[in-house]
Structure 1
């Protein structure tokens, strides 16, 4: 069984959930802080040594993209491979920015 609505006792809904539909639909926002969200959705200014590491990752990703571009026929699969290199590069750089 879930918790009472977070807006309890003001909420008159008898639902047993922390996400009371009536309260949320009437403009209330659950007073909840997710530390991971707070970290992931904020600006991370570069710290010492990070820009150089970001560039190293970008350079290696670009090298792999050129390798694939020059050796694979134009196709959906090739496009996906390059897209995934871009994603890997961005997530690798995000891991540095968000976790140091």
Structure 2
């Protein structure tokens, strides 16, 4: 935490707090999760097991989480 007299960083204050879902947001989260899962299954069914495949799946997970964070933090 900042010391007395220091200023709070609004970005940190927003990014490191709990964002309770607002009306309409759960449906957006679910739509993003469903499309991410669809892409994960597509990659899983068409790519050989490999480091590259694992990274592709990991990056889909990251994209899903960041997209949902975008909604939570900025709406």
Listed as ranges, the gaps of 5+ residues in structure 1 are 1-27
Deviation at 1:32, TM superposition (A): 2.7
Partner of 1:96: 71
Instruction: Say whether 1:70 aligns with 2:45.
Output: yes
Length-normalised TM-score, structure 1: 0.70
- Larger RCO of the pair (alpha carbons < 8 Å, separation 6+): 2
Q: How many residues in Structure 1 have an aligned counterpart in Structure 2?
A: 73
Deviation at 1:29, TM superposition (A): 3.7
RMSD value, Cα? 1.4
Listed as ranges, the gaps of 5+ residues in structure 2 are none
Instruction: Say whether 1:80 aligns with 2:55.
Output: yes
SS for the counterpart of 1:85 is helix
Whole-Å separation in 1 of the counterparts to 2:27 and 2:44: 25
Q: Tell which structure's C-alpha radius of gyration is larger.
A: 1
